[in-house]
Amino acid sequence: MLPVSKQYFYNTSTNTNYRNNEQSKKRKFDGQLKQSIDINADSCWFCLSSKKITKHLIVSIGNQVYLSGTKGPLVKEHILVAPIEHYKSLAEVPPETENEINLIKSSLNQYFESTGRVAVYFERNILSAHFQLQVVPVPIRMADRLENMFKAKFKEYDLSLVDIPPAASLRQIAGNSEGHYFCTELPNGKRLFHSASKKSGHQQKFPIHIAREVLASPRLLNVESRIDWRKCEQSLDEEENDVKMFRNAFEPFNPIKD
């Protein structure tokens, strides 16, 4: 459980943001990739200090990261985890942020398993300005299909998708791809990685909805009409209701206690 005194607070019932600090200092740490910011935090859709953030989607806020609903979800309880500060990718976040992400992932895994589902995590640090870890639950009986389906879809687009060795860090692997990559973590713990360095030319041709294509396919969630999130946006009432229902259901597992 995260100590309440160190958390950022957001009153989700009144849509009022109670951040302890308007602007936190950027953390510096050794041996990590240099942070690259292409969009100012004030104009970022995912920075808590930005006026553009969709406040009613926020589930809870911890010390370093927050949990949120998504626009155009593939299924109910499709959520995201994002850092409070403006980091471009998971490979760039400091250790304390990564630790909190792992804590939340562990709790999400427990929650979804209690409902007969497992979580698929993916990050696309290609044409993206603020790190978001997408979390999509799938029925546990379908978990064994995921690896082959991801690899087949990438092969269909003539894109590489390789296993990350268990002992290797994402930061180390991403450094070899100029920091531009796609990565997914499957329920069996395997991490699959695609490098999209500028010299490879993969940034220009990378299909940004590729993970949604895999998960929405008839053999998995069977929601192909929802591949493009813009085609399945919900009303404000629907979004607020879904966030409220997930917040209540996840509360016993949530390590962030408001």
As to burial, measured by CB atoms within 10 angstroms (0-12 exposed, 13-18 middle, 19+ buried), residue 116 is exposed
* Domain assignment of residue 209, yes or no: yes
> If DSSP codes are grouped into helix, strand and coil, which group holds residue 134?
strand
pLDDT tens for each residue of 14-60: 333 333 333 333 333 333 333 343 566 667 778 887 777 889 999 99
How many structural domains comprise the chain? 1
* Domain assignment of residue 258, yes or no: no
Interacting residues of 26 by C-beta distance below 8 A, sequence separation 6+: 35, 85
* Domain assignment of residue 257, yes or no: no
* Domain assignment of residue 94, yes or no: yes
Distance of CA 198 to CAs 81, 143, 176, 211, 243, Å?
27, 33, 12, 21, 37
Q: What pLDDT tens digit does each residue of the chain (258 aa) get? A: 554 333 333 333 333 333 333 333 333 333 333 334 356 666 777 888 777 788 999 999 999 999 999 999 999 999 999 999 888 899 999 999 999 999 999 999 999 999 999 999 999 998 778 899 999 999 999 999 999 999 999 999 999 999 999 999 998 888 766 668 999 999 999 999 999 866 555 555 889 999 999 999 999 999 999 999 999 999 999 999 999 999 999 999 999 976
* Domain assignment of residue 198, yes or no: yes
CATH number of the structural domain spanning residue 99: 3.30.428.10
Cα atoms found within 13 Å of the Cα of residue 111, Cβ hemisphere only: 22
Interacting residues of 166 by C-beta distance below 8 A, sequence separation 6+: 189
Domain that holds residue 175: 4-24+32-250
